[in-house]
Structure formats: structure tokens, C-alpha cells
Amino acid sequence: MRVLVTGGAGYIGSHTVVQLVAAGHDVVVVDSFANSKPTVVPRLEALIGGPLEVHAFDLTDRDKTESLFAERQFDAVIHFAGLKAVGESVEVPLEYYQNNLDSTFALVRAMQRHGCFRLVFSSSATVYGDNAPVPYQEDYEPLSAASPYGRSKVMIEQVLRDVASAGGQWRIAVLRYFNPVGAHPSGTIGEDPQGTPNNLMPFIAQVAVGAREELYVFGDDYPTPDGTAQRDYIHVEDLAAGHVAALHRIAHQEPGLRAWNLGTGHGTSVLEMIRAFEHASGRTVPYTVVGRRAGDLAAYWADATRAHEELGWSATRTVDDMCADTWRWQSSNPEGYPD
Ligand code: NAD
Ligand code: UDP
């Protein structure tokens, strides 16, 4: 298939591009580089062994999005493009709603106009909100989220559901990611957060490499075995493989929309993650326990059964693999991608 990957220069998109090409697909990327750097492109070209077609523009620009579809024929789209920092979304909610919703509107309209009806959308476990029973199951309702970022995902899921229900030929896969971590085993591509990382794994990696002094552990009084919060960390290479599997599935499924969790089905605590990273890196990760972070839940993980049964996909990489691959990327690129 010829697949348009929006946000293909970003963390998850870049890893997925490599696996799509390896699976025999013809890949075209569109990215505004709002949260990524063009220097990822030559690294991707080295991994895929050839040139990568990249269009640098903002999908919220409807004319440009329309022009791309007018020029090129696509069999499917994987839509990663979006802003994703929870804290920032609280400060500038309009930017988040506008970017995430308008880019999706422009894309879906252009797809409809040009007869491309296969779409894979990046959603998040955050749409399960505060009250869903653990493990999270796809049919849980009502979806809700605690931040403008999360609510933009809930809204887009709803828009896509309505578009699919309106009839026609839409085949839409909504993939709800748990906590993506890790890097390509080559160590040449990985997660490159701009500024202070919000997420646990890149923060630990920056402490281990010496770029930051210590990690703050947000709370050790949760009702969990060691008191720190548990999440379902999933290797980005497993996540990428989940997209290839979803793409194959929607090529054959009946028209409509279906959601799948992409997680391992297991929770890992903050302290377990620190210990695993110390083991993988051979470095000590100094930390101090501080108060809980507002909005954090104690523990959740995926019910990964549906993806296993329907996509033939399961996560295979361990927490030790996630730490080893993150360390290879971080230690060989302590400052991330070059400017
Ligand atoms: P990322 O920021 O690394 O990648 C997103 C890419 O989209 C960036 O390269 C950015 O420049 C681009 N982009 C943003 N807005 C755009 C626009 N309007 N037009 C064109 N390009 C645009 O993020 P990621 O971690 O790779 O996440 C990819 C997707 O997965 C996002 O939709 C995110 O919300 C979702 N997601 C991520 C996580 C996570 O923890 N990383 C978890 C759940 C869901
Ligand atoms: N966390 C932490 N220190 C940090 C960043 C995160 O203790 O500097 C904790 C956080 O409270 C949560 C877990 O690590 O329990 C995962 O946080 P992350 O932000 O990576 O993912 P999310 O909570 O959004 O799933």
C-alpha cells in the first residue's frame, strides 16, 4: 500500500515508518516539524536504505493538505500528527484543540474527497478517564479525560465514529496507546523531548546520562505494592508493529470504526522502572520522593486481548529491552537529534 504517515518525523511515527517500509509499503511523510527536527530524516533514510518522501507543512493548512491528496494517490493514512504535552495543553488549550482537531478535519476531508477511506488514528489510554476499571477494556464508556490534550483525543474519536457511522466506505482503526518508551535497537532514532521531559522514561535517561542531577518520584503513598504508581510501558518497536498489523486488518475489515488497546497488559511501578534502567545502563539514577503529581492515577494497564485476537499482535519486548534500547539511544545522542 502507499501509506501517508502524518507526524512521521516524530517519536512514534519515525519508528513506524521504518517498520512500514520493512513490511513492503510505500511511505510518504507529512510533518510540520513543530515537535521534531529535520535531522531525523537522513537517519530514517539510512535505516530504510533509500530516500524518504517528506512534505514539510502544517496539516491545519487545508489548501496544502488538499493539494497533497490532489497530487498523490494514497491507499491509507496513519495519523500521528498532533500536540501531546498534557501540562502545556492546560496552559494553551486553544492551541491544542485547534491543532489536533483542525489537522484531523483537513485530513479527513481531503481523504474523503480523494477516495482514501482507510485511516489509523493515534489515540491514548487517557481517554478512559478516572473511573474505568483496570485493566482498561475498549468498550468502556463514557470516554473522558482530565486535560485539554486528552479531551482532544476523546473528541477526535467521537468525530471519527460519527464519520464512520454516516455510511460509506470508511475503515478506521483507533489505537489507544499506553506508555510508549524505548528506541530503535540501532540507537539512531529515539525520543527527543524538547526542554524538560514530562514523562518518566526520558527523565530517567537524562539523569543516567548526567544531563540532570536527579529524578523526582511523584508520590510513594499509592495503594500499590511499593507505593509508587504503576503504568503499562510499551516498547515503541512493539507499538510500531501494532500499526502495521492494524493497517493490514482494516484493509480487509467491514466498513466502520474499531478501537484497539496497544499495551502489554502489565503494570510496572516507578521504582521498578528506575531499577531496570540502572541495570541496563550500569549507572545509578539518584532520586528524591516528592508529592503526587496533580491528576495522576495510582495504577492502570491495558486489557490487550482484543489486539491479540483481532490483529494477531502482542507486545513481545520486556521492560529490560525498553531500558536497554533507551539507554543505547540516549548515551549515543545525549542531546537528542542535532539542530
Ligand atoms: P511527537 O510529538 O514526537 O510526534 C508528533 C509529530 O507530529 C511531530 O513530529 C510534530 O512535528 C508533528 N505535528 C504536530 N502537529 C502537526 C500538524 N498540525 N501538522 C503536521 N505535523 C504536525 O509525538 P509522538 O509521541 O510520536 O506521538 C504521536 C501521536 O501519538 C500523537 O498524536 C500523540 O498524541 C499520540 N500519543 C502519544 C503518546 C506518547 O506517550 N508518546 C501516548 C499516547 C498517544
Ligand atoms: N513520574 C515521576 N517522575 C517524573 C515523571 C513521571 O515519578 O519525573 C511518574 C508519574 O507520576 C507516573 C509515571 O511516572 O506515575 C509515568 O508518568 P508519565 O508522565 O511518563 O506517564 P503518564 O503518567 O502520563 O502515563
Give the pLDDT confidence of 272-304 residue by residue, as tens digits: 999 999 999 999 999 999 999 988 999 999 999
Q: Which atom of ligand 2 is nearest to the CA of 201?
A: 20
Residue 218 in contact with ligand 2 by CB distance below 6 A: yes
Contact 202, 233 (CB under 8 A): no
Is the confidence at residue 28, as pLDDT, over 90? yes
Residue 93: pLDDT band (50, 70, 90) is: very high
Whether 304 and 314 have beta carbons less than 8 Å apart is answered as yes
Mean pLDDT of 16-29: 98
**Spatial separation of the C-alpha atoms in residues 110 and 130, rounded to whole Å:** 35
**Mean pLDDT throughout 162-168?**
92
Give residue 167's pLDDT band: very low, low, confident or very high (50, 70, 90). confident
Q: What is the pLDDT averaged over residues 169-198?
A: 97
Q: Does the structure show a pLDDT above 90 at 129? A: yes
Q: Distance between CA 80 and CA 160 in Å, rounded?
A: 15
Give me the catalytic one of 96, 128, 149, 233: 149
What backbone phi and psi angles, to 5 degrees, belong to 120? Answer: -115, 125
Q: How many residues does the chain have?
A: 339
- 267 pLDDT band, cuts 50/70/90, is very high
Look at residues 116, 237, 191, 108 and name the one whose alpha carbon lies nearest to residue 100: 108
pLDDT band at 224 (very low <50, low <70, confident <90, very high): very high
Given pLDDT bands bounded at 50, 70 and 90, which one contains residue 9?
Answer: very high
Q: How far is CA 28 from CA 31, 74, 101, 251, 281, in A?
A: 10, 9, 22, 18, 35
Helix axes of 236-252 and 11-22: crossing angle, nearest 10 degrees: 60
Q: Rg for the chain (alpha carbons), in Å?
A: 19
Residue 253 is predicted with a pLDDT of 85
Distance CA 5, CA 15 (A): 11
Burial class (CB in 10 A: 0-12, 13-18, 19+), 339: exposed
Is position 177 annotated as part of the catalytic site?
no
Counting from 1 in the atom list of ligand 2, the atom nearest the Cα of 230 is 15
Please give the model's pTM, rounded to 2 decimal places.
0.98
Q: Using CA positions, which residue lies closest to atom 24 of ligand 2? A: 199
List all residues 6 or more positions away from 328 whose beta carbon is below 8 Å from its beta carbon.
183, 185, 186, 187
Q: At residue 24, what are phi and psi to the nearest 5 degrees?
A: 95, 10
Mean pLDDT of 208-216: 96
Mean pLDDT (the chain, rounded):
97
| Domain 2-181+233-263, architecture per CATH | 3-Layer(aba) Sandwich (3.40)
What are the sequence ranges of the domains in the chain?
A: 2-181+233-263
